[in-house]
Amino acid sequence: MAKLHELASLVRSKNAGPFLLTIDVLFEDVASYERVRDGGRINARTVAGIYNIPEADIRVFDYDAGRAIKVTFPRPLISGTPGDPDVTGGQQYAPMTQLDV
């Protein structure tokens, strides 16, 4: 097994509006993308465990043409509200990089 960061060329997170967070996982080559996509480790159950959120709130999208996997789920706090530690959502990708794929 490899860690996600070893196969992906980019793992990033960002807001998808003020209420949602999205994590993009992009791959340089088709073989790495297909290995991760077909391995099925990026799924609602796995992401729920990493981020401690309900599986039902998580959406996972495979985008073959872009060699990318997108994960979207509600932010724990609305962007910019008091107590929000990451207004842009740009620092939330880190736990995903350590996923065994």
pLDDT tens profile 42-52: 999 999 999 99
pTM metric for this prediction: 0.94
Mean pLDDT throughout 80-93? 96
- The mean pLDDT value for 90-94 works out to 97
Dihedrals phi, psi of 59, to nearest 5 degrees: -120, 135
Over residues 79-93, mean pLDDT: 96
Phi and psi of 31, rounded to 5°?
A: -60, -45
Q: Is the dihedral of CA 90, 92, 94, 100 positive or negative?
A: negative
